A = this chain, B = another copy of it.
């Protein structure tokens, strides 16, 4: 296979992508990476994991307040989903008034670490992306 890559980008990136693709192809039928992205790509899972990771333990409404703009429904749905995936642990206390606490499982913590690379990238390149967007919009206007 003929390979040409821009000089400022070492060949490693390509190898990395191929490795991931390999793993995807190897998967029985549904790609695990796709699944993970389906899970954390939704609007709230990522933030839930982040906040739970930062605070260790949070009650339902504490978490809701920290995230800010999540509806009660979506927070419930998201937390149940994370719980089903074994990423979040749910503790229900038989008290009045009711108290439910959430925290990350070890698996959830490990995912948080995997996230951090993405978080770092986002913060490092957010401006570049914003500039690219502006440049693209300007170009569009010029062409159209």
Contact = CB atoms under 8 A, between A and B. Distances in A.
Interface of A: 3-6, 8-9, 13-14, 16-21, 23-24, 27, 32-37, 40-42, 46-47, 49-54, 56-57, 83-87, 104, 106-107, 109-123, 125-126, 128-129, 131-133, 135-137
A32 B49 CA distance: 16
22 contacts: A13-B112, A14-B53, A17-B53, A17-B112, A19-B116, A20-B119, A32-B129, A33-B118, A33-B123, A36-B129, A37-B41, A37-B46, A41-B42, A85-B136, A87-B129, A107-B125, A110-B121, A111-B121, A111-B125, A114-B120, A115-B118, A117-B118
Please give the count of copies of this chain that the complex contains: 2
Contact of A137 (B16, B56, B84, B137): B84
Contacts of A107: 125, 128-129, 132
Contact of A50 (B17, B54, B111): B17
